A = this chain, B = another copy of it.
Amino acid sequence: MANVFHQRLDELDELLVDMARRVGEAIEHASAALLAIDTEAAAAIVAADEDLNALQFRVDDRIVELMTRYEPVATDLRFILAAVRISVDLERMGDLAKHVAKSVLLRAPAPAIPDSLREDFAGMGQAAVRISEKLVRVLAERDQMEATQLGLDDDVLDALQQRVHDQIPDLGYGPQVAVDAALLARFFERFGDHAVRISHQVVYLVTGDVHLDRS
């Protein structure tokens, strides 16, 4: 019984890792589509978000099954509750990648970001991809060091968002361009925040230290 339970628990873990991988792919492709004005890729990201939502339903089903069929002890229970929250954050990260893709579709054939901000957005895309890669390892290996490193990449994302905001008053473009840039920068910044929240949940599972990001 205990073995079957832990096998099912491992599968829950794998579902979360799978979600994190897909979220990483989504933000990677969304960032590339943003820079290349690639509407085909953008449309594919929007469509793929459905698969991510379906995965979250599978996570939910697995959680209910684990809790009703077995009687998880405190440690396993802590993991299951964390899994509920982690899947919410992962689903939201997928939404944010989708928002980036939708901005591409909305403005095409024009670019959604002005030329002068291309470099900053390329940097945000790269930081978001690094964060996703680390998030997969944090979830798969419960690696605390990776959680710390992920936090540093999130700092990069925050700094780049600030850079974009600082440039907005002097961009020399219309207000629509400024708003697009500000919202897109916010999507990337929120993407990082959710990853940090997840990594704190995992660190809490490993160490018991409450270090939740509720700012």
Contact = CB atoms under 8 A, between A and B. Distances in A.
Interface in A74-88: 74, 77-78, 81, 84-85, 88
A91 B64 CA distance: 23
Nearest to A94: B214
A182 interface: yes
A179 to B, nearest CB: 4
Given A68-B77, A78-B64, A175 B168 contact: yes
A183 B214 CA distance: 20
Contacts of A156: none
Interface in A139-176: 165, 168-169, 171, 173-176
B78 A81 contact: no
A78 B214 CA distance: 25
Contacts of A179: 165, 168, 175, 178-179, 182
A171 B174 CA distance: 10
How many copies of the polypeptide does the oligomer hold? 2
Q: Would you call the interface of chain A mostly helix, strand, loop, or mixed?
A: helix
Interface residues of A, number: 37
A67 B186 CA distance: 37
B169 A174 contact: yes
A176 B183 contact: no
Given A85-B85, A169-B174, 20 more contacts: A56-B214, A64-B74, A64-B77, A64-B81, A67-B77, A67-B81, A68-B77, A71-B71, A91-B214, A95-B214, A175-B175, A176-B178, A178-B178, A179-B179, A179-B182, A182-B182, A182-B183, A183-B183, A183-B186, A186-B186
24 contacts: A56-B214, A60-B81, A64-B77, A67-B67, A68-B77, A71-B71, A84-B84, A84-B85, A91-B214, A95-B215, A168-B175, A168-B176, A168-B179, A171-B175, A174-B175, A175-B177, A176-B178, A178-B178, A179-B179, A179-B182, A182-B182, A182-B183, A183-B183, A183-B186
